[in-house]
Amino acid sequence: MVSFSSLLLSALSISTTVLSSPIPAKDASSLQFVHESNEKRYYNYDDGSLNEPIRGVNIGGWLVLEPYITPSLFEAFRTNPYNDDGIPVDEFHFCEQLGQETAKDRLEAHWSTFYQEADFKNIAEEGFNLIRIPIGYWAFQTLESDPYVKGSQEAKMDQAIAWAEKYGLKVWVDLHGAVGSQNGFDNSGLRGSIDFLNEENLNITVSVLNYMLEKYSSDKYLDTVIGVELINEPLGPVLDMDQLKNSYLKPAYDYVRNNLNSDQILIIHDAFQPFNYWDDFLAPGEDTWGVVLDHHHYQVFSSGELARNIDDHVKVACSWGTGVLDESHWSVAGEFSAALTDCAKWLNGVGIGARYDGSYSKPNDGSYYIGSCANNEDITTWSDERKQDTRRYVEAQLDAFEMRGGWIIWCYKTESSIEWDVQRLIFDGLFPQPITARQYPGQCN
């Protein structure tokens, strides 16, 4: 997920995700979806493995670090109480500042403890049916110049898939960080740079992706891993979209269908493009099938969005559901959250601050004070109105995204942030249990 820069703000109001299950190779007729007037559309899994909407959760901040998810790993670098000087802004600089040996020790400890088998058992018991697991290219291959640690991430991914299978969960494997960064966000591993499509970087990323596609599309994994996301959140507004399509996405599709002869589902993030932008690219048809579109939705990365009242937040959320109904690809909302503020520490990045309370430090952003972030992570200070608004917003998003393929909320746990932590949201009654329960039904009718 998500320390988003101002570059994508104009695009964030339009997003969603997509998925399908294994379907017989070269049989496009099996990729059909139920669609009647005024009825919701669901996956038609021929093997009956998931005859319901995707109701998933992201395993964020685990195999790819994000400072706001695990701030303690980054607070270890603090030199003074006044500012964030000297604190690494992403995993690249975390490893660079520590050096390989120390970085490996700290990361291996993190990978071994932040998620364990009990988490997957809880996720299943709470009614989720899928997990999306982000991983960076450096888990599989590194450059000579890379400070990244290539440690046990791949083994941890495989263990997570085994746990998911044990508890009846399906999995999306998500390539979250490309060589050179596909978006310049800390969630790609490297903040600031966007050099993904440089020839050398692209070639290495393709090599890693092909390895992932071959491995996780094999018979060993195919029943549980029902989708591979080709790249998370490429920043379309600044990338060469033709190159992204023709040098990366289309070759990946051809590799899976023609080289691997696999029916694995391939997930394409919308690259922050408008609804229907992708309708003619790898569109479902006799010779093209099994491509799902991934839209990500947030309303906290501009002051205009943060200033909305709850009725407007709900209205926008509902529009995300109706917006995908006539897209040619099946879709799922692969990221969204309960957040109505950007107050979570380092959500916008180390050293940047929050728009909500006016502390945002990037110039020419146009942000202004909306409200206080004081005690934001202490639920006892939340008013009843704020709790009700958060629950309303969550329920509206769930209902909107189930108009089509479903949803995968970001993310299951953090160290301290209520608005981005499903465990806390459930505990505090801000996320429905059971998942189909509604305190505010019919908001998107």
Residue 407: partners with Cβ closer than 8 Å, 6 or more residues away: 17, 53, 54, 55, 56, 332, 333, 334, 336, 397, 398, 401
Which candidate, 419, 398, 396, places its Cα nearest to that of 341?
419
Is there a contact between 348 and 2 (Cβ–Cβ < 8 Å)?
Answer: no
Which residue is associated with the tokens 């909407």?
A: 53
What's residue 289's pLDDT? 86
At 165, is the secondary structure helix, strand, or coil?
helix
The single residue of 233, 305, 377, 395 carrying the catalytic annotation is 233
Residue pLDDT tens, the chain, 445 long: 544 333 333 333 323 333 322 222 323 333 333 323 223 223 443 333 456 899 999 999 999 999 999 999 999 999 999 999 999 999 999 999 999 999 999 999 999 999 999 999 999 999 999 999 999 999 999 999 999 999 999 999 999 999 999 999 999 999 999 999 999 999 999 999 999 999 999 999 999 999 999 999 999 999 999 999 999 999 999 999 999 999 999 999 999 999 999 989 999 999 999 999 999 999 988 888 889 999 999 999 999 999 999 999 999 999 999 999 999 999 999 999 999 999 999 999 999 999 999 999 998 899 999 999 999 999 999 999 999 999 999 999 999 999 999 999 999 999 999 999 999 999 999 999 999 999 999 999 9
Strand partners, 337: none
Could you give the 3-state DSSP secondary structure of residue 102? Answer: helix
Bridge pairing between strands 406-409 and 291-296 = unpaired
pLDDT at 188: 98
Q: Which CATH homologous superfamily contains domain 6-427?
A: Glycosidases (3.20.20.80)
Chain position carrying tokens 């998810």: 69
- Reading the block at residue 71, the tokens are 């701030």
Residue 233 among the catalytic residues: yes
**DSSP annotation string for 253-288:** HHIIIIIS-----EEEE-TTPPTTTTTTSS-SSSS-
Bond from prior residue into 441 cis (ω within 30 degrees of 0)? no
Per-domain residue ranges for the chain? 6-427
Q: What are the tokens at 426?
A: 């459930």
Is there a cis peptide before residue 411, judged by omega within 30 degrees of 0? yes
**Confidence (pLDDT) at 51:** 65
Gyration radius from the chain CA atoms? 20
Whether residue 327 lies in the annotated active site: no
Query: What phi and psi values does residue 243 have, to the nearest 5 degrees?
Result: -65, -40
What pLDDT does 431 receive? 98
The pTM score is: 0.91
Coil, helix or strand for 251? Answer: helix
Cα 392 to Cα 397: distance, rounded to the nearest angstrom: 9
Please report the pLDDT score of residue 50 as a whole number. Answer: 55
pLDDT tens-place string over residues 105-129: 999 999 999 999 999 999 999 999 9
Of 305, 335, 377, 402, the active-site residue reads 335
